[in-house]
């Protein structure tokens, strides 16, 4: 008897039990989390399959993150997954805050001896797809539809999907399912509602996320804290720069034509002695409502969630990709230990080890959101206290060090 877990799957034809389709692990989602888990499994010769709804071309070009913390780069490197990144990424040492018409450099590498690496997420995904498939012989099925999870509480779970070529439902029996299908995936909904708790936070704020076909206007990340709202600048490549503009939640990107965007960026990022912004065509314009969630029980039976499927952090502190990689290292190692050596310690400790860093980053995101958005909150008290918090970073060494460690995710507690 099969119990389909997808909420949109009232009935599924019975399992034809194709004996060929039996894998120790099925990974749902070919983002950074799923591909990294897959690469770790393949490195240990564990058989697995990755199921992805989009095409290979789509996942390799989807623009998203760019900031990767040094500990994550080291972990990727240790697992043979960072060769291109180390060759092409820029290592940054400072960021810059602009407020009250002045520029303030924050030298985080001098304080922590660690860097931020700038490497566009599409390049990382391209590297990981190539490594998983072409180098480590992994199986990815792109363009699958209607993925469903079955019998997760049994010792014989399975995953089924509609094959894009035949339109037939195919089944894969497995020992474990890695739910790496991001914030809008289906695996989170397969957690039994009576056992799952999801903590949520809505900032009541949105950012207009922009990609401009223009070289960066500064040699580092810039945060503009302004009474008109937050603005951000970060390099993506020598030809493309990401900008953010705080805007009302639910705002329509069409309300932001080219001229308005650049006028507002110049105003909010303006400061004495700052180089002028290099304008360019806007090739992406999306409104992101700032909200976060944490699935407090990201594992049940044979299903383990990782990355955005398990927790979402708004791009405020540029942490989502880093957390996705952290989960993937933990889960990949734990599955390998269990499946090759019968050692279940990693799987048993997965939830706790993942959530420790997740909650730490969530707290930092919230703290940083106050700094970014206090000046424009309309509340003079909040504007005053958050400005004091910001000034402290440039006057008190202990406060500066604490900020640098959180910003780089390098605190020793992990
Ligand atoms: P992903 O990358 O969303 O990948 C999930 C994959 O699953 C597929 N999928 C399914 N596959 C099979 N069946 C289904 N039913 C499926 N449903 C979905 C999807 O097509 C996709 O390929 O999740 P993952 O692997 O957990 O990685 C998370 C990161 O992508 C995300 O946290 C970051 O992009 C967040 N983020 C940033 N993080 C950083 O650490 N540093 C940054 O600088 C940074 N900047 C950003 C960001 C996110 C942004 N957006 C778009 C929200 C900037 C932006 C604008």
Q: Which residue has the tokens 């990981």?
A: 128
Residues 374-409: b if buried by 16+ CB within 10 A, e if exposed: bbbbeeeeebeebbebbeebeeeeeebeebbbbbbb
Q: Whose CA is nearest to atom 2 of ligand 1?
A: 31
Residue 233: CB atoms within 10 A of its CB come to 24
What is the pLDDT, as a whole number, of residue 64? 85
In-domain check, residue 264: yes
- One domain for residues 59 and 141: yes
- One domain for residues 358 and 383: no
- One domain for residues 221 and 341: no
Q: Whose CA is nearest to atom 47 of ligand 1?
A: 65
- One domain for residues 175 and 253: no
Parts of the chain with a pLDDT under 50: 1-14
What is the pLDDT, as a whole number, of residue 10? 35
Q: What is the CATH number of the domain that holds 50?
A: 3.50.50.60
What is the pLDDT, as a whole number, of residue 12? 45
- One domain for residues 109 and 130: no
What is the pLDDT, as a whole number, of residue 2? 41
What is the pLDDT, as a whole number, of residue 19? 54
17: left (phi over 0), alpha (psi -120 to 50) or beta: left
User: Which residue segment(s) compose the domain that 284 sits in?
Assistant: 86-117+203-289+376-408
In-domain check, residue 164: yes
Establish whether residue 129 lines the binding site of ligand 1, counting it when its CB lies within 6 angstroms of any ligand atom: no
Out of 27, 64, 233, 293, mutate this one to test ligand 1's pocket (max ligand atoms within 8 Å of CB): namely 64
In-domain check, residue 169: yes
Burial of 259 (0-12, 13-18, 19+ CB in 10 A): exposed
CA distance 119 to 270: 26
Residues 194-230: b if buried by 16+ CB within 10 A, e if exposed: eebeeeebebebbbbbbbbebebbbebbbbbbbeebb
Q: Which atom of ligand 1 is nearest to the CA of 307?
A: 26
Inter-residue contact 108 to 404 (CB < 8 Å): yes
In-domain check, residue 404: yes
What is the pLDDT, as a whole number, of residue 63? 86
Establish whether residue 326 lines the binding site of ligand 1, counting it when its CB lies within 6 angstroms of any ligand atom: no
pTM confidence score: 0.94
């Amino acid at each position: 008897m099969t119990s389909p877990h997808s909420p949109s799957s009232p009935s599924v034809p019975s399992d034809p039990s194709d004996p060929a389709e039996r894998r120790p692990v099925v990974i749902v989602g070919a983002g950074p989390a799923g591909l990294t888990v897959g690469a770790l499994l393949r490195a240990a010769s564990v058989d697995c399959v990755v199921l992805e709804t989009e095409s290979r071309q789509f996942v390799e070009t989807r623009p998203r993150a760019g900031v990767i913390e040094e500990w994550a780069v080291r972990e990727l490197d240790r697992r043979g997954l960072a060769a291109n990144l180390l060759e092409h990424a820029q290592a940054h040492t400072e960021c810059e805050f602009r407020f009250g018409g002045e520029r303030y450099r924050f030298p985080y590498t001098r304080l922590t001896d660690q860097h931020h690496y700038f490497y566009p997420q599409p390049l990382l995904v391209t590297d990981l797809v190539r490594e998983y498939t072409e180098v480590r012989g992994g199986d990815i099925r792109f363009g699958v539809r209607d993925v469903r999870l079955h019998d997760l509480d049994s010792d014989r779970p399975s995953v089924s999907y509609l094959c894009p070529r035949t339109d037939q439902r195919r089944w894969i029996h497995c020992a474990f399912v890695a739910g790496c299908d991001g914030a809008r995936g289906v695996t989170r909904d397969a957690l039994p509602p009576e056992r799952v708790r999801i903590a949520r936070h809505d900032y009541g704020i949105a950012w207009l996320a922009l990609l401009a076909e223009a070289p960066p206007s500064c040699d580092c990340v810039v945060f503009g804290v302004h009474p008109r709202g937050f603005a951000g600048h970060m390099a993506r490549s020598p030809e493309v720069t990401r900008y953010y503009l705080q805007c009302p939640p639910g705002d329509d990107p069409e309300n932001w034509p080219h001229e308005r965007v650049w006028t507002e960026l110049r105003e909010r990022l303006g400061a004495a002695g700052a180089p002028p912004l290099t304008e360019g065509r806007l090739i992406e314009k999306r409104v992101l409502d700032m909200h976060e969630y944490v699935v407090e029980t990201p594992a049940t039976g044979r299903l383990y969630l990782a990355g955005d499927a398990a927790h979402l952090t708004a791009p405020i502190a540029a942490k989502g990709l880093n957390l996705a990689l952290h989960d993937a290292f933990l889960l990949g190692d734990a599955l390998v230990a269990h499946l090759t050596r019968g050692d279940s310690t990693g799987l048993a400790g997965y939830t706790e080890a993942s959530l420790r860093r997740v909650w730490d980053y969530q707290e930092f995101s919230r703290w940083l959101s106050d700094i970014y958005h206090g000046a424009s909150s309309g509340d003079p008290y909040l504007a005053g206290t958050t400005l004091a918090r910001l000034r402290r970073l440039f006057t008190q060494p202990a406060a500066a060090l604490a900020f640098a460690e959180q910003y780089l995710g390098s605190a020793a507690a992990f």
